[in-house]
Amino acid sequence: METILCPFCNRENVIGTIRCTYCNHMLREETETDQPMTAAAKQLISDDDPEKEQLQPVPLTAAEYAPDTQENDLADQFASSTKFTKAEDAAGAYAEAFLESKLHGEKMILRETAKRRLIATSIFALAAFITLSLMMLYHRSYGIFLVIFAALGIGYYFSRTDNRAMLAKKMASMPQADMENVMMSDIDRMVSGKVNNMLRISILAVFLAVFVALFWSPRMIFEKGNSGYSLRYYSAAFRPAERVVIPDTWNGEPVTEIRGNVFQGLNSIYSVVLPDHLVTIRAHAFRSCSNLRNVTFPSTIESIGSSAFRDCTSLRKVTLPSGCSVNERAFKNSNTIIERK
């Protein structure tokens, strides 16, 4: 049986075949006298050769792309390929192969692609920064924020923009345009993929550096109230403090309250000095601070809320003013002795 070699996939086809049986490349011009595939051609993909039967047309890679291929041949190939369910996706794949062949393998990306990648990286970095910052402030809920952070990372990975996606949109928006002319104009507006990746890494590094600097040491955040300021948040830190001294005043006004859950779960704390004007400690303020051993209460303290020092197993004794109201569960599971003065 006489055969002809396909210049694209280097596979043998029966002489007279119009298109390659394997890659669908045009082998010769079709004429009016051409008949449907001959029995000899069908024999090449018959059940006698299961391996050949399973071969499907595939898109060209940059290495396989022939520079002298005509635009209409290229269009025919992606339109008839069984690898793609949408002509738009196939168009993007072949346009990408065209660009790569013209650039001789150089790692370049479209300017639109580079811009979208930088925007996506910036959005991810900002969202990650906010999530990690909240995790440091709400240190009792590490698990929830770690799940959110992981979800952000997965979402960022699967939303990556590449040349193929951008080219597919462009080809879909200009179906009547000459593909080669459009692609050659894009080549003039391509940028280095390595430089783009370095910029993206720099964006992530800047956000990470700001985050580390912000939470290198513990931070206190105060909230304005009717009679002064309340301690609203006390953050976790990369370099935690064993002894915490809460300032007597903030912005020239007294600190009169510690809000709920402020120190909850911070096992790094061994000693706390409360402000001189403190009036109230809210529920769960120091809960589960298992290493907390010493708390200095001022004479102004009036009330201690539910579970404020619950599960503080190292806190053996505290001295409180005689008029201070203590919730019955304030020191639950702590075995703390309360002395009055």
The model's pTM: 0.66
**Residue-level pLDDT at 56:** 40
Q: What beta strand segments (E) does the chain contain?
A: 3-5, 12-14, 108-110, 190-192, 220-224, 229-234, 243-245, 249-250, 253-258, 271-273, 280-281, 294-296, 303-304, 317-320, 325-326, 337-340
Structure tokens at 295: 């708390």
CA angle 120, 122, 125 (to 5 degrees): 110
Nearest to 263 by CA among 243, 278, 249, 279: 243
Give the chain's domain count.
3
pLDDT tens digits, 187-237:
667 788 888 899 999 999 999 999 999 999 999 999 998 889 999 999 999
What is the reported pLDDT for 188? 65
Query: Which amino acid belongs to residue 301?
Result: I
pLDDT at 15 (0 to 100): 72
pLDDT of residue 90: 59
| Residue at token pair 């900002």 | 126
Q: What is the b/e burial string over 233-271, where b = at least 16 CB atoms within 10 angstroms of the residue's CB?
A: bbbbbeeeeeebebeeebeeebbbbbbbbbbbbbeebee
Query: Do residue 333 and residue 299 come from a single domain?
Result: yes
**pLDDT score at 5:** 76
Residue 82 lies in a domain: no
3-state secondary structure of 252: coil
Residue 73 corresponds to which tokens in the numbers above? 């041949």
Residue 5 lies in a domain: yes
Q: Which domain holds residue 39?
A: 1-55
CATH number at residue 288: 3.80.10.10
Is 184 in the same domain as 233? no
What is the spatial distance between Cα 204 and Cα 37, in angstroms, rounded to a whole number?
Answer: 57
The mean pLDDT values, 10 residues at a time, for the chain of 341 residues are 69 72 65 45 41 41 43 49 54 63 67 87 93 91 88 82 70 60 66 88 95 95 92 95 95 95 94 95 95 94 96 94 94 92 83
